[in-house]
Amino acid sequence: MQLADVAALTSAEGRQLLAQLPPYDDDSALAVGEQLRRQGHPASLVAAALTQSRLRTRAGRRWGAAGAELVGHLLLTPDGAQQATRPTVAALRAARYARVGPAARVADLGCGIGLDALALAEAGLEVDAYDRDPLTVAVARSNEAARADGPPIRVFEADVTTIDRDVIAGYDAVFVDPARRQNGRRLAKPEAWSPPLSWALALPAPHLGVKVAPGIDRSLVPIDMELAVVSDHGDVVEAALYRGATRDGPVSRSATILPDRALLTDRDLPAAAPPVAAVGRYLHEPDGAAIRAGLVAAVVARVDGWLLDPQIAYISTSRMVVSPWVTSYEVLDVLPFHLKRLRSYLRSRHVGHVVVKKRGSAVDVDHLRTSLKLDRKAPERRTLMLTRVGTDPIVAICRPTARL
Ligand SMILES: C[S@@+](CC[C@H](N)C(=O)[O-])C[C@H]1O[C@@H](n2cnc3c(N)ncnc32)[C@H](O)[C@@H]1O
């Protein structure tokens, strides 16, 4: 995608062409392109439109129903789509910023193609969005222009680290979403992000949000900020730090599950450490957001359960539980982990398919799967949960219960 493509795609012809494209499909893309060129559309425009269609279709799938509708109005770049906040998560964040005050002025520093900026504006905030990449800025401007109503978003091309601190201090609130990849690879160190985490945290902004990696070392979270982790349909999709009005009061850590917006915070943590005992009738995997936010003990308390090991995030209960915070399995058997014994156990029970999960186990899952040499035609399915009790490796042979 080039700057010229943005101009072509936002022209009257480009918009019309994009609107008439069928949902993208690899198998038919060549034929569709051929047909459009025969109709007289320039080859470069057809190629750009098909790329857009592919990016939109992929992003729509990833972003779910709410995003699928929005994506039809957006221009995307491959990097921009990959780094963009999914719309449901951006809306959740925008609700935090709305607490700063009606029509508060927010600086979105490193706005990308503008998904957060759009959500902030949708929540009634006045947004100035900054990015240093000219193509990204052009795309963000096009996405801003495609909005039907709401306060305008001003999009500036700038390296945010060169913005005068007084200018930043003039905003009511600031959001920073640093680029955490370079050449397609994740940058593990927060100081390698662009802009670096320490730069973002030092901004003169009483109401501040900074997106971070979900696996961030919790010792890097400042004492006056909340680490908020969000999962969507079971996948951890983001973590961010918040202070001032964007923070949820005195909360230091929170986990939110989408789409139902279930919330756990450090205030839900029990006073005592969770009980530890042997595997009971049910085993549960806590939601990844609760794990990343360090709130497993709160989940244990919620489901009235216990841990198998203080360091391992598997929860057990004697009763079936229905909770958005866990994926649950009925335990059929528990064995010391021993390959030959497990193989004959599964064969004798006509198990042809296994799903293998592990926590605190050094077993190579792919190697285990092949070494089990299951008869694929055998009808039974099981979930194997590999873990340890103390230093002893065990395997719980389970079957999933219905998930909420
Ligand atoms: C993770 S993306 C932002 C995604 C955005 N929140 C969204 O939802 O669409 C980070 C953006 O920061 C921009 N960026 C990185 N370093 C920057 C800097 N020093 N100044 C301005 N923009 C920067 C990158 O060009 C990239 O577009």
- State the CATH number of the domain containing residue 227: 3.40.50.150
Pairwise CA distance, residues 289 & 227, whole Å: 11
| Residue 129 sits in the same domain as residue 196 | yes
- The tokens for 109 are 């520093």
Domain-embedded: residue 215: yes
Q: Across-strand partners of 384?
A: 356, 397
Alpha carbon of 180 to ligand 1 centroid (Å):
9
Pairwise CA distance, residues 286 & 403, whole Å: 12
**Is 79 a pocket residue for ligand 1 (Cβ < 6 Å)?**
no
pLDDT at 169 over 90: yes
The per-residue pLDDT for range 50-86, each reduced to its tens digit, is 999 999 999 988 888 777 778 888 999 999 999 999 9
Domain-embedded: residue 309: yes
| Residue 90 sits in the same domain as residue 49 | no
**Is 77 a pocket residue for ligand 1 (Cβ < 6 Å)?**
no
- The tokens for 104 are 């508060």
The per-residue pLDDT for range 94-133, each reduced to its tens digit, is 999 999 999 899 999 999 999 999 999 999 999 999 999 9
Per-residue pLDDT, averaged over 235-247, amounts to 97
Domain-embedded: residue 138: yes
**Is 113 a pocket residue for ligand 1 (Cβ < 6 Å)?**
yes
| Residue 173 sits in the same domain as residue 202 | yes
Pairwise CA distance, residues 279 & 394, whole Å: 10
Domain-embedded: residue 70: no
| Residue 179 sits in the same domain as residue 256 | yes
**Is 244 a pocket residue for ligand 1 (Cβ < 6 Å)?**
no
Kindly give, in sequence order, each residue whose CB lies less than 8 Å from that of residue 290, ignoring residues fewer than 6 positions away.
Answer: 229, 255, 264, 296, 298, 299, 325
Query: Structural domain of residue 201, as residue ranges?
Result: 82-266
Alpha carbon of 80 to ligand 1 centroid (Å):
9
| Residue 125 sits in the same domain as residue 53 | no
Has this prediction a pTM greater than 0.95?
no
In this structure, which amino acid lies at residue 306? W
Alpha carbon of 112 to ligand 1 centroid (Å):
5
Which residue do the tokens 């035609």 mark? Answer: 377
| Residue 54 sits in the same domain as residue 178 | no
| Residue 125 sits in the same domain as residue 237 | yes
The per-residue pLDDT for range 298-337, each reduced to its tens digit, is 999 999 999 999 999 999 999 999 999 999 999 999 999 9
Atom of ligand 1 at shortest range from CA of 133: 25
pLDDT at 403 over 70: no
**Is 327 a pocket residue for ligand 1 (Cβ < 6 Å)?**
no
Query: Angle 43-71/12-20 helices, nearest 10 degrees?
Result: 60
Given pLDDT bands bounded at 50, 70 and 90, which one contains residue 21?
confident
| Residue 166 sits in the same domain as residue 301 | no
The C-alpha R_g of the chain, in whole angstroms, comes to: 25
| CB-CB contact of 317 with 304 (8 Å) | yes
Q: Which helix (H) or strand (E) holds 98?
A: helix 87-98
| Residue 257 sits in the same domain as residue 116 | yes
| Residue 210 sits in the same domain as residue 249 | yes
Pairwise CA distance, residues 207 & 191, whole Å: 22
Atom of ligand 1 at shortest range from CA of 113: 9
Domain-embedded: residue 274: no
Domain-embedded: residue 77: no
Distance, first Cα to last Cα, the chain = 41
CA-proximal residue: ligand 1, atom 25 (nearest):
133
Domain-embedded: residue 132: yes
Alpha helices (H) in 303-396, listed in sequence order? 339-348, 365-372
What pLDDT is stored for residue 184 in this prediction? Answer: 84
Alpha carbon of 128 to ligand 1 centroid (Å):
13
Tally of domains in the chain: 3
Alpha helices (H) in 11-86, listed in sequence order? 12-20, 26-38, 43-71, 78-83
Per-residue pLDDT, averaged over 153-174, amounts to 97
In this structure, which amino acid lies at residue 46? V
Given pLDDT bands bounded at 50, 70 and 90, which one contains residue 369?
very high
| Residue 286 sits in the same domain as residue 329 | yes
**Is 209 a pocket residue for ligand 1 (Cβ < 6 Å)?**
no
| Residue 227 sits in the same domain as residue 370 | no
Domain-embedded: residue 273: no
